[in-house]
Structure formats: C-alpha cells, structure tokens
Amino acid sequence: MKSDTINKAIIGIILLVVLFQLYAVLMPELETSGNALNASGVPMGSLFASGGVIFIIIMAALIVLVVKSFTTKK
C-alpha cells in the first residue's frame, strides 16, 4: 500500500519537472513568435504577444494543474 503511494508520488514529481522544463524551453520561442505576429499587423495579433491573453491562460492552466496534482483525492 505504501509503495504504491510512493510510486505515484515519484511519477507525479517527475511529470511535474518535465512539464516545467517543457514550459521553460517552449515559452521564449512562443513569445518571440507572438511578438513577430503582432508586429506584422495580423488582426488580434496582440493576443499572442508576450503579454497577451494566451500566455496568461497558459500560466493559469499550469498553476491549476500544479494545485490539482498536490491536492488529495478521496
């Protein structure tokens, strides 16, 4: 029983680290692309700029995912 809980915790921590690493690698590239899209004059391109709504939604989803992963389920 305890080993199953420990295995789930280890897998959860590894997945969380991989998720943050993926976020750290991809976000600068996405922000650069969003800024270039915004500068090109595409309608609603400001949504994809570095301070745009899309990135705020991604950050909020990441926070919700982390909080949900650490809450206990009955």
Mean pLDDT of the chain: 87
DSSP 42: -
Q: CA 38 → CA 23, 54, 56, 57, distances in Å? A: 21, 13, 16, 18
Range of the domain at 56: 2-70
The distance in angstroms from the start CA to the end CA of the chain is 15
Long-range contacts of residues 34-37, Cβ cutoff 8 Å, at least 24 apart: none
* For residue 28, pLDDT beyond 70: yes
Q: How confident is the model at residue 51 (pLDDT cuts 50, 70, 90)?
A: confident
Entry pTM = 0.69
In this prediction, what percent of the chain has a pLDDT beyond 90?
Answer: 24
Number of domains in the chain: 1
Host H or E run for residue 25: helix 2-39
Q: How far is CA 61 from the centre of its chain?
A: 6
Q: What is the mean pLDDT of residues 5-30?
A: 89
